[in-house]
Amino acid sequence: MKKLPDLEAWAIFAKVAETGSFARAATELSLSQATVSKAISRLEARTKTMLFHRTSRRISLTESGRSSLERATRILEEGEAIEAEVVEQATSLRGPIRLAAPMSFGLSHLAPMLPEFMQRHPDVTLEVDYNDELLDLVTSRFDLSLRISDLVDSSLLARCLCTVKLMLVGSPEYFQRHGHPHHPRELTNHRILQYVYSRSGPSWRFKHERHGDFSQVVPAIMKVNNAEALGPALRAGLGMALQPEFLVWQDLQDGILETAMSDWSISPISLHIVTPPGRRRPVRVRTLIEFLTERFRREPWAQTPPLW
């Protein structure tokens, strides 16, 4: 009968490699040095190969040890994660969560959701940074972030919650005075309000079923670094703007704003939950991720996300 792998010994091996010392590994694992030494000897006997070079002053990994280290480290991490999860699940969720989100979207849509989560989990503490800049999650030590953009950092782990339409909108009063544009080239004759962090910048790209793709550079009479700040100017009839549907859907429902050039489409944006590299997540963080995923996908402006 085939023996089970010596998972405890592999975990001890990973700790010895991490600390560079049998004694330090024994201390961190609350084991005797003899137990640590015997575990390494068992592995070397089972695998019929040396895992460490030993001298009177130091130890170092052999080639076989180096090739085994990554998987052995995963055994140690997964074992620690399982125990931590069981312990944490046995009590109420507790501890801090650091979360980053875009300013306008966060204030309008994330902030109203968080009281429910905190009422469900009173021992969780939240630290939320509302900021339109793309913060470095690793160096800033965030547990997760909401991002509405194309993701360029491939080291981050991302879950697409939904896609969001971008819409060209203005007030009925604006269109009465200036007329509705029917082609992107006509936008140069209109008063444009612009969000400076837009992925397209001053060049707006449209797509038409029959006419194909068309890009138009649009000079702006007003530029802002927060898309929600365009709302009062739009409602006052000062111009048109490309806005995500989550910012304007209620004004569209109420007739305060109207869409223009609806036969020309603009590539939608995607709402992601992004986490730092590595797949170990405290239960409290995973619980918040699942809560936000379920809530955002129920929003009236959310489109079905692509398969991933």
- Which of the listed residues 60, 90, 120 is the one where a domain comes to its end? 90
Residues sharing a CB contact under 8 Å with residue 1, sequence separation 6 or more, in sequence order: none
The per-residue pLDDT for 307 is 46
The answer as to whether 110 is a domain residue is: yes
Summarize pLDDT for 47-93 with one digit per residue, the tens. Answer: 999 999 988 888 999 999 999 999 999 988 888 888 877 666 545 57
Examine the domain organization and report whether 85 and 99 are in the same domain. no
* HSE of 5, CA atoms in CB hemisphere, 13 A: 7
- How far apart CA 25 and CA 57 sit, in angstroms, is 16
Over residues 180-193, mean pLDDT = 94
Examine the domain organization and report whether 12 and 73 are in the same domain. yes
Token pair recorded at residue 128:
């939320």
- Which of the listed residues 58, 90, 122 is the one where a domain comes to its end? 90
Confidence class of residue 185 from pLDDT cuts 50, 70 and 90? very high
Examine the domain organization and report whether 100 and 175 are in the same domain. no
| Residue 20 CA: distances (Å) to CA of 57, 58, 130, 134, 233 | 11, 8, 42, 37, 63
For the cut 50, the answer to whether the pLDDT of residue 308 exceeds it is no
CATH (domain of 106)? 3.40.190.10
Examine the domain organization and report whether 33 and 173 are in the same domain. no
- Which of the listed residues 34, 60, 90 is the one where a domain comes to its end? 90
Examine the domain organization and report whether 24 and 109 are in the same domain. no
The answer as to whether 303 is a domain residue is: no
The answer as to whether 174 is a domain residue is: yes
Summarize pLDDT for 152-181 with one digit per residue, the tens. Answer: 555 678 888 888 889 999 999 999 999 999
Helices assigned H by DSSP within 101-225: 103-105, 114-120, 172-178
Examine the domain organization and report whether 34 and 127 are in the same domain. no
The per-residue pLDDT for 90 is 47
Longest distance between any two alpha carbons in the chain, whole Å:
88
H or E element at residue 12: helix 7-19
The per-residue pLDDT for 152 is 58
Summarize pLDDT for 247-281 with one digit per residue, the tens. Answer: 999 999 999 999 999 999 888 888 999 988 876 77
3-state SS assignment for residue 10 = helix
Token pair recorded at residue 289:
């991720």
Examine the domain organization and report whether 144 and 207 are in the same domain. no
DSSP state of 235: H
Q: Which residue has the higher pLDDT, 132 or 267?
A: 267
The answer as to whether 1 is a domain residue is: no
Examine the domain organization and report whether 84 and 35 are in the same domain. yes
The answer as to whether 109 is a domain residue is: yes
The answer as to whether 161 is a domain residue is: no
Residues of the chain above pLDDT 70, percent: 92
Examine the domain organization and report whether 49 and 110 are in the same domain. no
The per-residue pLDDT for 58 is 87
H or E element at residue 101: strand 95-101
Please state, rounded to an integer, the average pLDDT across all residues of the chain.
88
Q: What is the pTM of this model?
A: 0.60
Token pair recorded at residue 58:
């130091």
Examine the domain organization and report whether 262 and 180 are in the same domain. yes
**Domain ranges, residue 107:** 95-155+284-296
- Sign of the dihedral through C-alpha 101, 299, 272, 168: negative
CATH (domain of 54)? 1.10.10.10
Summarize pLDDT for 213-257 with one digit per residue, the tens. Answer: 998 888 899 999 888 899 999 999 999 999 999 999 999 999 999
DSSP state of 227: G
Examine the domain organization and report whether 186 and 202 are in the same domain. yes
Unique residue bearing structure tokens 């010994």: 9
Domains in the chain, number:
3
* HSE of 200, CA atoms in CB hemisphere, 13 A: 20
Examine the domain organization and report whether 172 and 249 are in the same domain. yes
Over residues 92-107, mean pLDDT = 87
The answer as to whether 272 is a domain residue is: no
